[in-house]
Amino acid sequence: MRSIFFLLMSGSILAGLAACSNETSKTLPILGSRDPVTKVVDGKTITDTLYHTIPDFELLNQDSTLITNQAFEDGVYIANFFFTHCPSICPTMQRNLLKVYEKYKGDKRVKFLSHSIDFRHDSPSVLKSYAEKLGVTNDQWQFVTGSKASVYGLADSYMVYTKEDSNIPGGYDHSGYLLLVDSKRHIRGAYDGTNDEQIQLLFDELAILLKEYE
């Protein structure tokens, strides 16, 4: 009887330890290409890794204000690409992102950045009306527009496929990924915004990433 008790005790302690170490050791990878750079520091030659980084940007938001990377550098953010009259994947993607927004509403560590790929139609006022109708009531979630070159170029660095295509309903083809970006502009996760399991993974991994800022 006693030995069984000890066995159970030690078993549960081990399980507890394993669970704890799993929790604390899990960090998210940095996605994208990486380049080794060799430099000389204090007379010694060291090799460092240069990770894929979101470049500088300057885009017009739903209040017609120019925003830059600065708006996102004191926390993490989730970026995606959409357009307001998109009849296909965008509503599902935005419905799912809205769930994340609602959970973290008021938590300034988490921000949201939706880029419109319809540079012809989605002016700031169109984006403003869209944001209000979606249910976005504060500046934690920015909706931005810019020149085709700047937005489509950014999509490439977020590793999101975007293309104008008149054969596609709505006129633009793009992938519905949600990108989790940290304060150093590194992409830490990519999730299919139309897939419920991937959205759950985003919730889980966002919580893991936020631990780095505690």
Interface with other proteins, residue 209, by CB under 8 A: no
**What is the widest separation between alpha-carbon atoms in the chain?**
76
67 to 86, contacts with other proteins by CB under 8 A?
A: 85
Cβ atoms of 115 and 80 within 8 Å: the answer is yes
Residue 88 engages other proteins in binding (rule: CB under 8 A): yes
**CB 60: neighbour CB atoms within 10 A?**
18
Lookup: tokens for 198: 């991937």
Q: Which of 81, 83, 104, 130 binds other proteins (CB under 8 A)?
A: 130
166 binds other proteins (CB under 8 A): no
Sort 110 into a burial class: Cβ within 10 Å, 0-12 / 13-18 / 19+: buried
Burial classification of residue 149, based on how many CB atoms lie within 10 Å of its CB (0-12 exposed, 13-18 middle, 19 or more buried) = exposed
Half-sphere exposure of 62 (CA within 13 A, CB side): 22
Residue 89 engages other proteins in binding (rule: CB under 8 A):
yes
Stretch that binds other proteins, among 11-19, 33-41, 88-96, 108-116 (CB under 8 A): 88-96
Nearer to other proteins, 124 or 170 (CB): 170
Considering only 10, 11, 91, 200, the residue that binds other proteins (CB under 8 A) is 91
Measured from the CB atom, the residue of 85 and 108 that comes closer to other proteins is: 85
Residues near other proteins (CB under 8 A):
85, 87-92, 94-95, 98, 130, 132-135, 169
